[in-house]
Amino acid sequence: DIRGVIFDLDGVLTDTAEYHYQAWQRLADEEGIPFNRQANEALRGVSRRESLMLIIGDRKYSEAQIQEMMERKNGYYIELIHHVTPKDLLPGAIALLEELRQAGIKTAIGSASKNAQTVVELLGIVDKVDAIADGYSVKQPKPAPDLFLYAAKELGLQPKQCVVVEDAAAGVEAALAGGMWAVGLGPVERVGAADVVLPSLAGVKWADIQAKLSEKVL
Ligand code: G6P
Ligand code: MG
């Protein structure tokens, strides 16, 4: 019996994944490192440090330079998210959050981002969720299940009572590793490991998700 839904933030409730991309692109350009939108696909849902490691590849940088680059990228990202408003919620997001609240289903944000709290505030959904797990909550990044386990605990639920909604392969992996149900948003090539795959949250009703999950069990 499912009692809670944990939403990833970037790429699920809002398209800040685009801003992460733009900020990394600006940094890569400044450093003269080849990078593009396609290369960015591998960074979806990946922690700040691991993202930078994927961008620099085998180029040699000191720890101090790595720290500076992570901070520089974050500065660019913060500039970009300043413009986020409730209009930036992706189609279907607010409807589903409100429907879940009505149905007595607990909701949480499970985002690896240290900026998640700010984005949630700018989106105006602080009081639409029961808990927020962010980049400060746990040490191990996705695909480790720690962040989602933390969110489930905050909701007072067992992992198997929770569904995670994710747009990233690493996030789907984290949900399944934690013993939770996974709904993947996006192409099968990316989120095909999830129990249910949907193109987006547009028009998605809680009953649709429940029906698709119960098909899995039968
Ligand atoms: C989320 C995003 C990633 C981002 C990570 C860390 O998982 O999907 O693109 O790298 O959070 O975010 P932060 O804002 O702390 O750099
Ligand atoms: Mg995401």
Integer angstrom CA distances of residue 55 from 43, 66, 70: 9, 11, 11
Statement: residue 26 has pLDDT above 90: yes
153 annotated ligand-binding residue: no
Residues forming beta bridges with residue 150, ordered by sequence position = none
What separation in Å is there between the alpha carbon of 8 and the centre of ligand 2?
6
- Which amino acid residue places its CA nearest to atom 8 of ligand 1? 45
Statement: residue 45 has pLDDT above 80: yes
Length of the chain: 218
Say how far apart CA 64 and CA 62 lie, in whole Å.
Answer: 5
53-86 per-position pLDDT tens digit: 999 999 999 999 999 999 999 999 999 999 999 9
Atom of ligand 1 nearest to the CA of 48: 10
Statement: residue 217 has pLDDT above 80: no
134 annotated ligand-binding residue: no
Q: pLDDT at position 25, please?
A: 98
What number is the average pLDDT over the span 131-159? Answer: 97
Instruction: Please tell me whether the interface predicted TM-score (ipTM) of this complex is above 0.90.
Output: yes
What separation in Å is there between the alpha carbon of 158 and the centre of ligand 2?
23
97-144 per-position pLDDT tens digit: 999 999 999 999 999 999 999 999 999 999 999 999 999 999 999 999
Quick check: is 10 catalytic?
yes
Nearest bound ligand to CA 45?
1
